[in-house]
Amino acid sequence: MNKIYLDHAATTPMDSEVINTVNKYMEDYYGNPSSIYQTGQKANNKLNEARETVAKLINAQDFREIIFTSGGTESDNLAIKGTALARKKQGKHIITTKIEHHAVLHTCEYLEKHHNFDVTYLDVDKKGFVKLADLKEALREETTLVSIMTANNEIGTIQPIKEIGDFLKDKDVYFHTDAVQAIGQMKINVQDMNIDLLSASAHKIHGPKGVGMLYIKKGTKLVPQMNGGAQERNRRAGTENVPGIMGFKKAVELVMENRKELVEKNTYLRDKLIKGIENNIEEAVLNGPRGSKRLSNNVSFCFKYIEGESILLNLDMQGIAASSGSACTSGSLDPSHVLLAIGHSKGTAHGSLRLSLGKDNTEEEIDFVLEKLPGIIQRIRDMSPLYNKE
């Protein structure tokens, strides 16, 4: 059997149509979009076409509300630092959650350390949900920004974004959401959800790496974090990556065309994986919720008495690529901050496995994983001094 790739939450392979699009624009649209002559303006016109497509994906009111960046991390940094520093005279309090991606958490920590901001990190329940009551209690007069991710990258929990947006709608507070994991897996309507800023990345939806976007609602005050030229309506300096952005556009078009079928297929495979693991492996703890409040492509478990790294190495020897959590922390020996936040002990959190599905995964592949995984877990447990075999 060929390599089984089950780490789409880390990155997705580029779609062949996206690759063809990128190649085309590398050859035919080499002009600098800021140049006033025809070659440059030809490229600039394509950028605006891409903005219109991305705006449709999230139902932005105006294509000019879309700013292109180098990816989700830059978009998070620009949204949080940009708005916080733009409104620091109004207040220096930010609210976020304990299970955000490190692109959000470390940005908030930077503002605490270097700009004397006060950040409230909201707790989540055992399934990873933020409680609206906790947000209401944390809100202060000096609060200027709330940043809560749409869906968690490790455990798949989909937050009540519309309810949060409705609550903040009449408040003098900006609402940012990191939608990097959610953008290809669920419908997002920034107007209906009352979102002021939204981050997304192309490489999570079978697009190219190094390209992302930030939706900035018209009228939102923001200090640019890249200094230089006047690109992206003075919000993000630097010559735009036209081929990459057009690859992003093609990936978005494919999402809008195929998302319904993809979600249905992934949901079926996801639930089969969850059921198969629970039925065949003892002391396997599902992380996150079940059903419609979980990303359709996310499966996350903790297996007691063992470490996730051993599971990954054994799966890799069987031709299965997976993850123990966020790819951005794969070099760390610390247990996942997300798993600790939902109540796991450090020992249990170390035994985590995330399987994330993509458009090309098949039921045959899932059957193969379910055939191999129980034996892998048992072999590792048999070697663990923590495992009581009696």
pLDDT, one tens digit per residue, over 258-296 is 999 999 999 999 999 999 999 999 999 999 999 999 999
pLDDT at 390 (0 to 100): 47
pLDDT at 206 (0 to 100): 98
Residues 6+ apart with CB under 8 A from 347: 304, 386
**108 part of the active site:** no
Q: Which domains does the chain have, with CATH numbers?
A: 4-11+259-382 (3.90.1150.10), 16-254 (3.40.640.10)
- pTM for the whole thing? 0.95
Residue 290 CA to residue 157 CA, distance in Å, equals 9
pLDDT, one tens digit per residue, over 284-293 is 999 999 999 9
Residue 339 CA to residue 308 CA, distance in Å, equals 13
Write down the catalytic residue from 328, 340, 372, 384. Answer: 328
pLDDT, one tens digit per residue, over 133-154 is 999 999 999 999 999 999 999 9
Give the Å distances, CA to CA, from 252 to 28, 29, 184, 216, 283.
21, 20, 8, 18, 40
pLDDT band for position 308 (50/70/90)? confident
User: Between 383 and 73, where is the model more confident?
Assistant: 73
pLDDT band for position 354 (50/70/90)? very high
User: Between 332 and 50, where is the model more confident?
Assistant: 50
Tokens of 355: 């399987």
